[in-house]
Amino acid sequence: GQNIDQPTEMTATEGAIVQINCTYQTSGFNGLFWYQQHAGEAPTFLSYNVLDGLEEKGRFSSFLSRSKGYSYLLLKELQMKDSASYLCAVRLFSGGYNKLIFGAGTRLAVHP
Amino acid sequence: DTEVTQTPKHLVMGMTNKKSLKCEQHMGHRAMYWYKQKAKKPPELMFVYSYEKLSINESVPSRFSPECPNSSLLNLHLHALQPEDSALYLCASSQDALAGQSEQYFGPGTRLTVT
C-alpha cells in the first residue's frame, strides 16, 4: 500500500519560520509535490522535488531525501494569509501513467 | 492563462437525478483528472484522461461516468448517486500524464450535495 504522513495541525507566529514534514512509503516514486489549499478552495501548486536536495521559491522552500522517504516544506516570514492546509503529494508511475497520491494535509494556523 | 474552470459551482441533486459536472482548460494540457474531496480530507483520484483516452479509473462506481469530448473539456456524468457521494469534486489538468515536472492545476471545484 501507499502511505504518506504529515502532522495534522501546526501553529506559528506571523513573521516566523515553520517547517512542515512529510514522510512517505510508496512504490514507483516519481516526484513529490507540495500544494496549498485554503478552506473551500482548490489546491494551488507550491513546489516540486524529484531529486534530493533543496528547491527554493521565494518565501517557500522544499527539501527531499529519497533514501529516507522524507520531505519538508519551509515557509519563511509567515503572513496571516499563509493560514491554510498544506498537502504533500507523491507522484507514482502506475500502469504507464503518472498519478498523485495526497497526504492528509497539515492545517497551519498563523497567529499575530 | 493558467485557469481551469468548473461548472456548476454548487449542485444539489436527488438520488434519482441525472446531472453532469463540466471542466474546461485552455492551456493546451493533454492530461485531465477528476478528484473527490470530502471535508478535511485530501483529494482522492477518481479518473485520469491522457490524450482524450481514459488511462486510470481508480475503481470508481459506475454511477460516475467520465467523458472527454475533446482535449479542452472533461465531463463527469452522475446518475443514481448516494448521500455519501456528497463532496467537493475537483478537476485538474497537467501538461501530460507521462513525464516531466507536469504539475497539476486545479479548478475551483463543484460542491455536490446528494439528498
B47 band by pLDDT with thresholds 50, 70 and 90: very high
Question: With contacts defined as CB-CB under 8 Å, which chain A residues touch B56?
Answer: 94-95, 97, 99
Could you report the per-residue pLDDT of B55-101, keeping only the tens digit for each? 999 999 999 999 999 989 999 999 999 999 999 999 999 987 776 56
Task: Please give the Cα distance from A100 to B58 (Å, whole number).
Answer: 12
Task: Please give the Cα distance from B15 to B81 (Å, whole number).
Answer: 5
> Which residue out of B101, B105, B112 would a mutagenesis test of the A interface target, given it has the greatest number of A Cβ atoms within 10 Å?
B101
In DSSP terms, which residues pair with A90 in a beta bridge? A32, A101
Query: What pLDDT was estimated at residue A9?
Result: 97
In chain B, the percentage of residues whose pLDDT exceeds 90 is 82
Torsion of CA A82, A86, A92, A95, to 10 degrees: -100
* pLDDT (mean) for B6-34: 95
Strands B10-13, B110-114: pairing kind: parallel
Closest to B108 (Cβ–Cβ): which among A41, A99, A103?
Answer: A41
A54 band by pLDDT with thresholds 50, 70 and 90: very high
* Lowest-confidence pick of A32-36, B3-7, B91-95, B100-104: B100-104
Given an 8 Å threshold on Cβ–Cβ distance, is A102 in contact with B43? Answer: yes
CA-based torsion, A6, A23, B45, A45: positive or negative = positive
